[in-house]
Structure 1
Amino acid sequence: MYKLNLNISEFLTSHWQKKPLVIKNAFTNFDDPISADELAGLACEEEISSRVIVTQDKGWNIIQGPIEDYSEFGENNWQLLVQAVNHWYQDTIPLIEAFRFIPDWRFDDLMVSFATPGGGVGPHIDNYDVFLLQGEGSRRWKVGAKGEYAPRGGDMNTALIDDFDPIIDVVLESGDMLYIPPGYPHCAKTLTTALSYSIGFRAPSQQELLTGIADHLLDTNTGLKRFTSSSEPTSAATLPVKQQQEMLSLLSELLHQPEHYQAVLGQILSQNRFELDISEPEAPYSLDELKSALAEGAEIHRIGGLKVISLENDINSRLFINGEIVNFKSCDMTQLSQIANSLTMTNREAAALCQSDELAHFILEQLNRGYYYLA
């Protein structure tokens, strides 16, 4: 169990998406949920996103995973980064739960790094919120003010920038944490061999939302209402401001209809960027086997990284699971919200939900898809 030493209300009011914050002793007596050897083992896997960054005299060299041999990197000036560790290593999930005061739809992944002295990432700017938690060892972090920064080497395809003047210059040790909102430049240098944890939170862009709306309209063959004008221009080659605004109003009308935007938001925000560690049973469970397992005290656990989202005031009775819509006929939103909020269904909770035939079949389906598993 990881207990975060943070005044959450004050943090959300004063710092969340506003300004960086150093949180010394964020976790008392912090215990790393994964070892360096276990992290290196994950980096060997083809389906897991990993990379090694080597610090050089004039920049950084990136070697994409899978990584099986580290001997060429030496003992200094490199770090290993593994994405979505919470998908593949169950012992990290309790750490993630400490950050569920931020909604699940924002959560991106837990990235874990192992770094040797001198290893680090150059000055860069992220477009997401991140909590940088120090495990074993120590790292020096610098954070700059928001502003306009030139991309390093003029490369517009990189997050790296030229150097900056720090407004924060701090050494993090085990249990210390740094929060950085989007847009603040930062960089790190490892002082002693270290494990670090990056808990990232993303929000959709205008491009992603509009693309989602367009895909939904095409898939459902909706949004077919055409523009009609209230008057015509005197010049044949002119599109008057009034007609421009009326066309945008037609689009705005569409975006305010729950039957369109709710499905899009649910699907976009429940979709995961990284591959999931699906836990399909060797043979599909039957309903009798599920009920027998519950009678024997089994719990039902959600696999790491799976997003299950419900929408407040949804016009339909449904859940959004990994970008898909699951509709229900007779379940109320209290039950669906309980499912969405529970990373683990206790035996009592699961047995109570399975009193409903519809929910029993839903749970059975999720178990057989490998999105949940019996424990």
Structure 2
Amino acid sequence: MYTLNFDLQDFLNHYWQKQPLVIKAAFKDFNDPISADELAGLACEEEIASRIILTKPDNWEIIQGPIEDYAPFGEDNWQLLVQAVNHWYPDAQPLVEAFRFIPDWRFDDLMVSFATPGGGVGPHIDNYDVFLLQGEGKRRWKVGPQGTYSPRGGDTHTALIDDFEPMIDVVLEAGDMLYIPPGFPHRGETLETALSYSIGFRAPSQQELISGIADHLIDTNSGNKRFTSNQEPNSPGLLPTAQQTQMLALLSELLTQPEHYQQVLGQLLSQNRFELDICDPDGQHTNDELIEALQDGATIQRIGGLKVIRLEDDNQLRLFINGEIYRFDSIELSILDTLANQFSFDNDTALALCKQTTVADYFIWLLDQGYAYLA
């Protein structure tokens, strides 16, 4: 059980997406949910995103995983980063749960790093919110103000920048945490062998939203209304300002129709950037088998990282799950909220919910898709 040790409402009011914040003892008596050896084991797997960052004089080298041999890296000046640990390591889920005061649709992943003395990431800027939580060991972090910074070596394809003048310079120990909103430059340096946790939250860009809308219109063969006008310019090579505005109004009209934008948002924001550890279903489940398992004490557990999202004021009764749509013929909104909010369902709760056939069918679908399992 992980419980945050600070005023969440004050944080949301004054710091979230506004200012960096150092939170000493954010978790009291913090215990690492994963060991260095277990993290190294995950980095051996082909389907899990991992990398080694080597600290070199005035530079950093990235070695993409899987990583099986650490001997060449020596005893200092490197760190291992493993993405989406919460997808593959169930014991990490309770730590993720502590951060669900931020909505699930924003949550990106739990990245865990093991770093040797001198290991770290150079000065860089992220385009997402991140909580940097310290486990065992110590790391020093510097954070600079927002501003205009030159990409390191003129390379615009990397997040690395030239150095900055810090406004925060702090050493984090076990349980300490640093929050950094998008756009603030920062860099970390390991003082003694350390485990660290990066809890990231990401919002969609204009590019991603427009791309999602376009894909939806193509898939549904909709958005076919064409531009019309009752007056044309005298000059054949001219596109008048009025017609430019009218064309954009045609697009704006489309984006205000819930039947289009709600599905796009639900599917886009319920998808994960990283691969999920989909369960291999053991055949098709039946209602009787589900009820019998629950009566025997089983619980229904969603797989790590699965996003289940409900849209407020949705024009349909549905949930968005990993980019897919699950529709209900009829269901109370309070129950729909429960299905979206709860990560696991104990046997008593699940049995009570399964009295409604629509909910039992939903649980069976989750199990058959490999999005949940009986624990």
How high is the TM-score relative to the length of structure 1?
A: 0.99
1:205 aligns with 2:205: yes
1:241 aligns with 2:238: no
TM-aligned CA deviation for residue 280 of structure 1 = 2.4
Stretches of structure 1 lacking an aligned partner (at least 5 in a row): none
1:119 aligns with 2:119: yes
TM-aligned CA deviation for residue 57 of structure 1 = 1.2
TM-aligned CA deviation for residue 197 of structure 1 = 0.1
1:82 maps to: 82
TM-aligned CA deviation for residue 357 of structure 1 = 1.5
* 2-structure distance, mates of 1:330, 1:12: 35
1:364 maps to: 364
* 1-structure distance, mates of 2:342, 2:280: 20
1:121 is paired with a residue of what secondary structure? strand
TM-aligned CA deviation for residue 204 of structure 1 = 0.2
* 1:192 partner letter: E
* 1-structure distance, mates of 2:241, 2:185: 41
TM-aligned CA deviation for residue 231 of structure 1 = 2.4
The answer to whether the 8 Å contact 1:19/1:180 transfers is yes
Moved more, 249-258 or 235-244: 235-244
2:73 maps to: 73
1:23 aligns with 2:35: no
Matches within 5 A, 1:256-335: 256-335=256-335
TM-aligned CA deviation for residue 84 of structure 1 = 0.1
* 1:167 partner letter: M
1:176 maps to: 176
TM-aligned CA deviation for residue 304 of structure 1 = 0.3
The answer to whether the 8 Å contact 1:271/1:323 transfers is yes
* 1:351 partner letter: L
2:38 maps to: 38
CA-to-aligned-CA distance 1:345-367 (integer Å, 9 cap, x gap)? 12222112211212211211111
CA-to-aligned-CA distance 1:268-307 (integer Å, 9 cap, x gap)? 0000000001122333322211010111222111100000
CA-to-aligned-CA distance 1:101-140 (integer Å, 9 cap, x gap)? 1000000000000000000000000000000000000000
The answer to whether the 8 Å contact 1:105/1:270 transfers is yes
Moved more, 22-31 or 356-365: 356-365
2:144 maps to: 144
2:190 maps to: 190
* 2:169 partner letter: D
* 1:350 partner letter: A
The answer to whether the 8 Å contact 1:280/1:367 transfers is no
* 1:69 partner letter: D
1:265 is paired with a residue of what secondary structure? helix
* 1:146 partner letter: Q
2:215 is paired with a residue of what secondary structure? helix
CA-to-aligned-CA distance 1:25-55 (integer Å, 9 cap, x gap)? 0000000000000000000000000001111
1:109 is paired with a residue of what secondary structure? strand
The answer to whether the 8 Å contact 1:317/1:331 transfers is yes
1:188 is paired with a residue of what secondary structure? strand
* 2-structure distance, mates of 1:191, 1:82: 20
Stretches of structure 2 lacking an aligned partner (at least 5 in a row): none
1:122 is paired with a residue of what secondary structure? strand
1:123 is paired with a residue of what secondary structure? strand
How high is the TM-score relative to the length of structure 2?
A: 0.99
* 2-structure distance, mates of 1:284, 1:60: 49
2:92 maps to: 92
Aligned residues: 375
The answer to whether the 8 Å contact 1:23/1:178 transfers is yes
TM-aligned CA deviation for residue 58 of structure 1 = 2.9
Matches within 5 A, 1:216-231: 216-231=216-231
The answer to whether the 8 Å contact 1:280/1:371 transfers is no
Matches within 5 A, 1:147-158: 147-158=147-158
* 2-structure distance, mates of 1:101, 1:358: 29
2:134 maps to: 134
2:136 is paired with a residue of what secondary structure? coil
* 2:70 partner letter: Y
1:102 aligns with 2:102: yes
TM-aligned CA deviation for residue 237 of structure 1 = 2.0
CA RMSD, aligned part only? 0.9
2:158 is paired with a residue of what secondary structure? coil
CA-to-aligned-CA distance 1:150-195 (integer Å, 9 cap, x gap)? 1001001000000000000000000000000000000000001000
* 1:112 partner letter: V
* 1:328 partner letter: F
1:320 is paired with a residue of what secondary structure? strand
* 1-structure distance, mates of 2:225, 2:6: 51
* 2:233 partner letter: P
2:120 is paired with a residue of what secondary structure? coil
* 1:141 partner letter: W
2:4 maps to: 4
* 2:276 partner letter: L
* 2-structure distance, mates of 1:338, 1:182: 31
2:124 is paired with a residue of what secondary structure? coil
1:340 maps to: 340
